[in-house]
Amino acid sequence: MRTRNLGKTPLEVPVITLGGNVFGWTLDERESLRILDAAVDAGLNFIDTADLYSRWVPGHTGGESETIIGKWLQATGKRNRVILATKVGLDMGDGKVGLSAAYIAQEVEDSLRRLQTDHIDLYQSHKADPTTPIEETLRAFERLIQQGKVRYIGASNYDGAQLREAQETARQNHLTGYCALQPHYNLLEREPYESDLAPVVAEYGLGVLPYYSLAAGFLTGKYRKPEDVKGARAGSVSKYVNERGLSILKALDEVAAEWSATPAQVALAWLIARPGITSAIASATRTEHIHDLVGAAELNLDETDMEKLDRASQQVVAA
């Protein structure tokens, strides 16, 4: 499995990250544990989750994904084989939201308890908090690093101005800055990452871990006509079943045929070949999906393939 350094840190991560949002949502606990075993045994040892997952499911309160991962770590003893990332800041209900120092100090303990570990490798702000000064947030993270509870910190869903402010605040106050950014970025969703965030990422040497790397499953080729759009991700996928989306699938099919690969592998290979991308986040709900992710990590597209995919993704759909 190919690896890359996470920004300027010595932490080496695989070019594909296993997304933990499905654990306790589209996968029950038993199947989640099976997927975790298969993934780590295949070399996918970087797992990304969040305290929020999966609060959106009726009857859930958040923390379900972390709890399942924690049970797996405890049962298997594989903590030393895993790079663990989680997030804090989105609304957990009952006023539990944001990036204040007090809330971070409370919520990190809840995440550590659910994950059944004494440290988190990458702790990420899930979203910028306009109600809390960024210096307060960074000082809270700094304390966690000094206490050994967190190794590195990252940001998700920041815009370019917010990210630059955070990095400059860290520099001016001699605090640890973010080492990584987790943005929404894939063949279908190239903006605002490319115009707004990529320059800031390059300026500060951050690692980049795109989420929705397969556009909620659309780039697997599973959804090609309106009647295909069903299931838990239907609301996220329906907007892609249009002229541009189908043009991208056609290009993926053509490149996949050349390489005896799948559309998902090609979409991920395109993403991890983009400048500055460290590791693409993708989830798996079946063991064959693990084979897809491993295959994507080893697929090196040539310049002609990249250009074909770029042309398809930059197509403008007529109004």
Complete DSSP assignment for 241-274:
-SHHHHHHHHHHHHHHHHHT--HHHHHHHHHHTS
Q: What is the pLDDT of residue 227?
A: 67
What's the pLDDT tens digit per position in 207-265? 999 999 999 999 999 888 776 777 666 667 889 999 999 999 999 999 999 999 999 99
Domain membership of residue 56 as a residue range = 12-220+265-301
Report d(CA 289, CA 279) in Å as an integer.
17
Residue 165: inside a domain: yes
Residue 308: inside a domain: no
Total domains in the fold of the chain: 1
Spatial contact of 2 and 298, defined as CB atoms under 8 Å apart: yes
Residue 260: inside a domain: no
**Catalytic residue status for 53:** yes
What's the pLDDT tens digit per position in 78-87? 999 999 999 9
Residue 285: inside a domain: yes
Q: What is the pLDDT of residue 40?
A: 96
Residue 129: inside a domain: yes
What's the pLDDT tens digit per position in 40-96? 999 999 999 999 999 999 999 999 999 999 999 999 999 999 999 999 999 999 999
Residue 233: inside a domain: no
Catalytic: which of 53, 123, 193, 204? 53
The domain that holds 80 is classified in CATH as 3.20.20.100
With cut-offs at 50, 70 and 90, classify the pLDDT of residue 319.
Answer: very low
Residue 315: inside a domain: no
What's the pLDDT tens digit per position in 173-185? 999 999 999 999 9
Q: What is the pLDDT of residue 225?
A: 73
Residue 232: inside a domain: no
Q: Above 80 in pLDDT, residue 2? A: yes
Q: What is the pLDDT of residue 104?
A: 98
pTM: 0.95
With cut-offs at 50, 70 and 90, classify the pLDDT of residue 317.
Answer: very low
What's the pLDDT tens digit per position in 109-161? 999 999 999 999 999 999 999 999 999 999 999 999 999 999 999 999 999 99
Report d(CA 169, CA 125) in Å as an integer.
15
